[in-house]
């Protein structure tokens, strides 16, 4: 497929108008003079901008369908989070007359190919993306092609990059910070962290929340934080092994984990100790509820509702303030038996 | 909405042809004489059979979209099964150029309302149903309206009811039977069963597999089966309580459970015993893998693939043998640490 479809910019040049005027033609045609409207619409047609961005927005009737890529099932425990987001999104959309269409893709590039196919064949109105990461090609493509979309997950941009698209995310660092504060209130001071290898945006954020709370409580300097934290791949076995190493080297009385999978491994090892280890997981999965694991819960229904509303605002043609379209929600700690006072 | 849309039968009467001829017009128009074709098509239009069953099948281009109702998220552990089925179905469909559109509904009647809306607004080709049960209104409505569909789950009809629609299911009784045989091979003879209250078709089937295997092994008569089995609501706490009662009254050395939630409760109680209780769960959820629980695994990818293929056969107009459209798949037992020889 052709990767060089004209963008709004090209349409604007062809019609000899500003980018804003093209945007007006698409979103508020009643404010555009008839002659200009006609010229811009002709440019769109000439440039073959059909069945995509601009032309789709010229339709009188929307498909009322949003697309979402279903992520592959993970063997672990954490995949349930996106399934719960999907359930909540489907319900919110349906209550507003919209439906969710699912697709799969092997990677980001495959996801972009699916966007094209879905726009052409099923005339989708917008996309909801999950699993955002630094340098995400998908959001660039959607932005360039003027397709409405929202991401569940921050763009994880650095300071000198633009951060213009709509997103909803949960403040993971606030979650691990709350976990540390809860453990400190119980009397713990040697609190370890078990997370993922550096470079995962979500994982780095969860570690940062633990680290800042430890420093704020005066419980560790940089070297101490380094010693008290462990970075592994996600998984129950990995969580167990990391816990064994931390216990042998640093004797923590509690650990905060970046996932319930890691936490389950920590609980298994911790049970065998003379003084039981307090453990906090992340994501409040069914496993956490089942085994009495204290865990950080994401407000997934609210995240889905806000994401849907952000997409509607774009489809409705409203501009809004860019700041309003970046929504960071607070998680909350669900306290269960796995966090107790130190022995 | 009008609940009395004409069925194939009515179209046949109006056109003065047989039901089979109407079916031929829809599925194999080339075998129908031009004059008959015209008469049947006219009858369809006159009867307002538009945007539904017959008329949809007269379209030259299909939407290539299948609808599926997303069940509400359960607090427990078992909901993951349908999410895994959904993932597999989405992948299979996509590999054949089809997409899945999701919707939600409060109950079966709401699901039927959604069928109408989706057929009218998004022109869906077929539906995939889950959670079938005795006297299912949904399958009756779809059959009467000649909408292609398949169910993941048997119709659970009694002998004197028709069982004509396509379905795929997993043989739950074979799963609990395999669990008993595995435990017997390990030397267990007092094997309890923890399941749901009678009346759940799926639950009754799982209990029947345990009961038949116990009888086949000469381990219990009817009264013994009654004493060794417990019926509760699904849940971890309920599983724990039922296990405590069974241990007090019947001292089983092993229990087979109708779900991983119940089994998790059994494991928790069983751990505290002098001679540890062997436990088998059902559905091989992530919780089972995480805690080393032996569990019955459903072949969800195969079930999704076969379900998709059965729907394609209907859309493609093939008739096939009715027997081929009822597919009962065998589950398999995933053996882990929770099943061990009796002490």
Q: How many Å apart are CA A165 and CA A326, to the nearest integer?
A: 8
**Which residue numbers in chain A have pLDDT < 70?**
1-7, 27-28, 45-61, 73-79, 159-163, 317-323
Instruction: Return the pLDDT at A78.
Output: 63
Q: What is the distance between the alpha carbons of residues B298 and B285, in angstroms, rounded to a whole number?
A: 10
Q: Are residues B188 and B281 in the same domain?
A: yes
Say yes or no: A306 and A161 in one domain: yes
Looking at residue B306, what is its pLDDT?
96
In a domain, B41, yes or no: yes
Burial bucket for residue B188 (CB in 10 Å: 0-12, 13-18, 19+)? buried
Containing structural domain, residue A32: 8-49
Count Cα atoms within 13 angstroms, Cβ side, for A151.
Answer: 22
* Tally of domains within chain A: 3
Residue B343 domain-assigned (yes or no): no
Same domain? B166 vs B176: no
Q: Do B102 and A100 touch (CB under 8 A)?
A: yes
CATH code where residue A187 lies: 3.40.50.2300
Q: What is the pLDDT of residues A21-59, one digit of tens each?
A: 887 777 667 788 888 888 887 777 666 543 344 444 444
**Residue range B19-35: average pLDDT?**
78
The reported pLDDT for the residue numbered B161 is 63
pTM for this prediction: 0.78
Same domain, A124 and A159: yes
Q: What is the DSSP letter of B297?
A: E
CATH of the domain at B30: 1.10.260.40
State which residue of chain B sits closest to A264, comparing Cα positions.
B290
What pLDDT, on the 0 to 100 scale, is given for residue B83? Answer: 83
Mark whether A284 and A308 lie in a shared domain. no
Say whether both B33 and B177 belong to one domain. Answer: no
Q: In terms of domains, do A182 and A78 share one? A: no
pLDDT at B317: 55
Identify whether B335 is part of a domain.
no
**What's the token pair of residue A69?**
């890529």
Flag if B261 and A290 touch (Cβ within 8 Å).
yes
User: Could you tell me if A176 and A280 lie in one domain?
Assistant: yes
Q: Residue A343 domain-assigned?
A: no
What does the pLDDT average to over B332-341?
Answer: 95
Judgement on whether residues B198 and B243 belong to the same structural domain of the protein: yes
Whether residue A122 sits in one domain with residue A196: no
| Cβ–Cβ below 8 Å for B291 and A286 | no
Q: What is the pLDDT of residue B92?
A: 94
For residue range B177-210, list pLDDT tens digits in order. Answer: 999 999 999 999 999 999 999 888 899 999 999 9
Structure tokens at A230: 């462990």
Average pLDDT over all residues of chain B? 86
Per-residue pLDDT of B216-257, as tens digits, reads: 999 999 999 999 999 999 988 899 999 999 999 999 999 999
pLDDT of residue A34: 82
Alpha helices in chain B (DSSP H): 8-15, 19-27, 34-46, 53-58, 80-95, 108-121, 137-144, 172-185, 201-216, 222-228, 236-250, 260-271, 286-291, 300-315
| Same domain as B166, residue B309 | yes
Q: Is residue B38 part of a domain?
A: yes
Kindly state whether residue A342 falls inside one of the protein's structural domains. Answer: no
Mutate to test the interface with A, among B63, B71, B82, B102 (most CBs of A within 10 A): B102
Nearest CA in chain B to A239: B290
The CA distance from A336 to A288, in Å, is: 9
pLDDT in tens, A180-213: 999 999 999 999 999 999 888 899 999 999 999 9
* ipTM computed for the complex: 0.75
Q: Is A98 contained in some domain?
A: yes
- The verdict on residue B309 lying in a domain is yes
Residue position matching structure tokens 């079916």: B23
Does B75 or B77 have the greater pLDDT score?
A: B77
Same domain, B177 and B290: yes
Residue of B73, B91, B101 lying closest to A101 (CB–CB): B101
Domain of residue A41, CATH code: 1.10.260
């Amino acid at each position: 497929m052709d990767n060089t479809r004209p963008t709004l910019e090209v349409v604007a040049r062809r019609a000899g108008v500003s980018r804003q005027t093209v945007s007006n033609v698409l979103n508020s045609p009643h404010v555009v003079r008839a002659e200009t409207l006609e010229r811009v619409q002709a440019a769109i047609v000439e440039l073959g901008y059909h069945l995509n961005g601009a032309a789709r927005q010229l339709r009188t009737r929307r498909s009322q369908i949003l697309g979402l890529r279903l992520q592959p099932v993970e063997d672990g425990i954490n995949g349930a989070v996106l399934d719960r987001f999907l359930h909540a999104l489907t319900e919110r959309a349906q209550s507003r007359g919209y439906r969710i269409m699912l697709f799969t893709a092997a990677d980001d590039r495959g996801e972009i190919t699916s966007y094209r196919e879905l726009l052409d064949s099923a005339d989708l109105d917008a996309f909801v993306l999950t699993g955002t990461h630094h340098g995400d090609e998908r959001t660039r493509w959607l932005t360039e092609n003027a397709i409405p979309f929202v991401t569940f997950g921050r763009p994880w941009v650095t300071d000198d990059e633009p951060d213009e698209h709509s997103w909803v995310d949960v403040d993971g660092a606030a979650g691990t910070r709350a976990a540390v504060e809860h453990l400190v209130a119980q009397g713990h001071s040697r609190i370890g962290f078990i997370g993922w290898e550096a470079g995962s945006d979500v994982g780095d954020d969860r570690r940062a929340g633990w680290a800042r709370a430890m420093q704020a409580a005066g419980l560790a300097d940089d070297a101490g934080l380094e010693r008290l934290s462990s970075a592994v791949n996600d998984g129950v076995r990995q969580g167990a092994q990391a816990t064994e190493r931390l216990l042998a080297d640093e004797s923590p009385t509690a650990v905060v984990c970046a996932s319930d999978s890691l936490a389950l491994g920590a609980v298994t090892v911790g049970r065998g100790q003379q003084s039981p280890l307090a453990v906090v997981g992340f994501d409040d999965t069914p496993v956490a509820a089942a085994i009495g694991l204290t865990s950080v819960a994401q407000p997934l229904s609210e995240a889905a509702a806000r994401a849907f509303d952000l997409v509607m605002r774009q489809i409705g043609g409203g501009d809004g303030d860019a700041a309003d379209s970046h929504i960071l929600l607070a998680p909350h700690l669900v306290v269960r038996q796995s966090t107790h006072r130190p022995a």
